[in-house]
Structures are given as structure tokens and as C-alpha cells.
């Protein structure tokens, strides 16, 4: 699991702006992202090239929808009917762009213009919200086929994920505030994982073995595929680590 994984999950991908990434190849701030989505066609050619394949056209339209919805979700105002798109939507968007370039011979700039035009078309619809909602079923199905849903980890695996993240960040940054936060959360998750095991009648030894097994499983997965941790829903881990009622860290 690369160090950037911990950075990304802590930010919850709030700076994601897939259209802005396509526009300039940079990772923009959230404010720049919103501006890039909303600004008129100055950044794109007035007459972008055409793609005749119906599947690719739908993928371009879905990429645009994912970009818009991801930004809304990052603001805490995501519309109903869409999965979390910060990570999976970004992958779909990037893969679609690469595939269209490869199969059509269009340049990166030309594909960029197509995606920006799709965003603008959705936002200029008579009812933009309805236009997005109408795309949700088909686009979600295409997303599930192309980018499998994230795996929901349990308490023990969440503890292993955040512990690994804090160790990698410690090696890179030293004892930073982010590392301290991750250590606290990993400790909370480990304690709750132990409590869940012992609550079912098992002893503390069984609880410790469950945590060791989770760490070993994660280590083995990452040894086989360095980006294996990316398939887990880390946001779920932060939910599991939230303070309980009438308590604090």
C-alpha cells in the first residue's frame, strides 16, 4: 500500500476533480475543480470531435456524470441513487479516456474536449438533476462491470489497514499529526475488534489471533499485488472508528 493511499483516504478524495485532471493533467484544489466543471466552453473547442461507437459515447457521458456527482459527494450533497464515486469514478474516468484514445486514435486533448462537452451538456439540460438521475442506473451498471465495488473490511482488517498506513507515513514523514491520528484510529479499531471477539465468548487469545491473521492476510495480499489495499473501502474504517456516544479520544 503506497503512502499516498493514507493521504488519499484521510482527505476522503475531497480534492477529486476528474474533469480538471483531464483539462490540465494536474491535481487541482476543490475550488479549482468546481470552477473547471462550471466554466463555459473556453477550455474546450467549440466543435469537439465525434465518437461513433455507442458504448464509448455512453462511457464518456457516464464519465461526465461521475465527475459531477463526485464533486457533489465531496461537498456532502451527493444526489441519491449513486454509489461513492471518489475512487471508482476516477478509475472509470481515466480508463475510459485511455480506451477512447487507443481505439479511435484521438489525441488526449481531443478526448478531453469530448469529456468537457459531455459535462457541459449535462449541466445545460433543462433539468440537470433529472438528467443526472436518468443516467444513474445505466452508468452504475457500467461502473460495476468495469471497476468492481470496494470490499468492506471488518474491524480487524480495518485495524491492519490503518496500522500499515501509519507505519508507512511514519517512515516518510516522521511523527506528524496525521500519523498520530492514524495511530489513534488503528488502536481504537484493534480494541473494538478484540471486544467483538470476546463478546462472542472467545478469550483474549482468540482476539489477538484474529488481529494477527488480519495483518498477515493484508501483508500477503500486498506482497502479491502492491496496490491490493486500494480495493478496500477505507471510508468504512473511519466510520467504524468514530467515537461512540458519550465518549471521545
Is the domain of 111 the same as that of 177? no
Mean pLDDT of 228-239: 85
Is the domain of 142 the same as that of 167? no
- Dihedral-angle region of residue 209 (phi above 0 means left; psi in -120 to 50 means alpha; beta otherwise): alpha
Is the domain of 61 the same as that of 16? yes
Task: Provide the pLDDT for residue 47.
Answer: 54
Query: How many CB atoms lie under 10 A from the CB of residue 132?
Result: 21
Query: Which of 127, 146, 165 is at the close of a domain?
Result: 146
In a domain, 104, yes or no: yes
> What's the pLDDT tens digit per position in 165-183?
999 999 988 889 888 999 9
Q: Which pTM was predicted?
A: 0.57
> What's the pLDDT tens digit per position in 200-232?
888 888 989 999 999 999 999 999 988 888 888
Task: Provide the pLDDT for residue 44.
Answer: 43
In a domain, 17, yes or no: yes
In a domain, 248, yes or no: no
What is the count of structural domains for the chain?
2
Residue 199 has pLDDT above 90, yes or no: no
Residue 180 phi, psi dihedral angles, 5° rounding: -60, -45
Is the domain of 124 the same as that of 165? no
Short-list 57, 55, 67, 224, CA closest to 145 = 55
Residue 141 phi, psi dihedral angles, 5° rounding: -65, -40
Is the domain of 170 the same as that of 121? no
pLDDT top residue among 7 and 244: 244
pLDDT top residue among 45 and 237: 237
Task: Provide the pLDDT for residue 162.
Answer: 94
Is the domain of 24 the same as that of 116? yes
> What's the pLDDT tens digit per position in 120-167?
999 899 999 999 999 999 999 999 999 888 889 999 999 999 999 999
Query: Which of 146, 173, 193 is at the close of a domain?
Result: 146
Is the domain of 43 the same as that of 136? yes
Residue ranges making up the domain that contains 201? 155-240
Going by pLDDT thresholds of 50, 70 and 90, the confidence category of residue 245 is: low
Q: Which residues contact 9 (CB under 8 A, 6 or more apart)?
A: 165, 234, 235, 237, 238
Task: Provide the pLDDT for residue 59.
Answer: 94
Q: Which residues contact 184 (CB under 8 A, 6 or more apart)?
A: 249
> What's the pLDDT tens digit per position in 97-126?
999 998 888 888 898 889 989 999 998 999
Is the domain of 161 the same as that of 68? no
Residue 80 phi, psi dihedral angles, 5° rounding: -70, 155
> What's the pLDDT tens digit per position in 8-67?
333 333 333 444 444 343 333 333 334 444 444 444 444 555 677 889 999 999 999 999
Is the domain of 123 the same as that of 226? no
> What's the pLDDT tens digit per position in 183-198?
999 999 999 999 999 9
Is the domain of 25 the same as that of 65? yes
In a domain, 233, yes or no: yes
Task: Provide the pLDDT for residue 130.
Answer: 94
Measured between alpha carbons, how far is 168 from 67 in angstroms, rounded to an integer? 30
Task: Provide the pLDDT for residue 142.
Answer: 95
Amino acid at each position: 500500500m503506497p503512502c499516498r493511499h493514507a493521504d488519499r483516504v484521510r482527505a476522503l478524495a475531497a480534492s477529486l476533480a476528474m474533469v480538471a485532471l483531464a483539462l490540465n493533467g494536474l491535481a487541482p484544489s476543490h475550488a479549482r475543480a468546481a470552477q473547471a466543471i462550471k466554466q463555459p466552453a473556453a477550455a474546450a473547442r467549440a466543435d469537439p470531435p465525434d465518437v461513433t461507437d455507442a458504448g464509448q459515447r455512453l462511457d464518456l457521458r457516464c464519465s461526465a456524470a461521475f465527475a459531477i456527482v463526485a464533486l457533489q459527494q465531496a461537498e456532502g450533497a451527493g444526489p441519491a441513487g449513486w454509489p461513492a464515486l471518489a475512487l471508482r469514478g476516477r478509475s472509470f474516468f481515466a480508463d475510459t479516456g485511455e480506451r477512447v484514445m487507443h481505439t479511435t486514435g484521438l489525441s488526449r486533448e481531443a478526448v478531453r474536449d469530448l469529456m468537457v462537452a459531455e459535462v457541459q451538456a449535462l449541466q445545460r439540460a433543462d433539468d440537470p438533476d433529472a438528467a443526472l438521475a436518468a443516467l444513474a442506473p445505466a452508468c452504475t451498471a457500467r461502473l460495476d462491470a468495469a471497476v468492481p465495488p470496494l470490499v468492506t473490511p471488518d474491524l480487524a482488517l480495518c485495524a491492519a489497514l490503518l496500522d500499515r498506513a501509519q507505519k508507512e507515513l511514519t517512515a516518510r514523514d516522521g511523527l506528524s499529526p496525521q500519523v498520530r491520528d492514524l495511530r489513534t484510529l488503528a488502536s481504537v479499531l484493534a480494541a473494538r475488534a478484540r471486544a467483538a471477539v470476546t463478546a462472542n465468548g472467545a478469550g483474549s487469545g482468540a482476539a489477538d489471533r484474529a488481529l494477527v491473521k488480519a495483518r498477515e492476510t493484508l501483508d500477503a495480499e500486498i506482497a502479491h499485488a502492491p496496490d491490493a489495499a486500494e480495493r478496500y473501502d477505507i471510508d468504512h474504517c473511519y466510520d467504524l472508528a468514530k467515537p461512540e456516544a458519550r465518549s471521545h479520544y
